[in-house]
Amino acid sequence: MLTFTTFELVKKDLSELGDVVANEASAIASSTVESVKHQAQSLQQIVSPVEEQAVLPGEVDGQRAEIVEKVTHFLLGT
């Protein structure tokens, strides 16, 4: 037969167990969210690689500004 004291101890143990389970569930959820964020960032990098600058016709190592200037002068007729 359960005594009142035993019942109170069981009630207290169940309450503490509930708190521990809630804390662990929260930690697992938080960890899962961080993991999903990391995976999403990795997937985003795979899906959208860094765009490379297109090479202009006639461009050779660092001549971009020179070519743009020549085309601008040509188009403006100066």
Query: Is residue 11 within 8 Å of residue 3, measured between CB atoms?
Result: no
**pLDDT per residue rounded down to tens, the chain (78 residues):** 568 899 899 999 999 999 999 999 999 999 999 999 888 888 877 776 655 566 666 666 667 677 777 777 788 876
Structure tokens at 66: 């020179």
User: pTM for the full model?
Assistant: 0.49
In angstroms, the CA 76 to CA 70 distance is 10
- Domain extent listing, the chain: 4-76
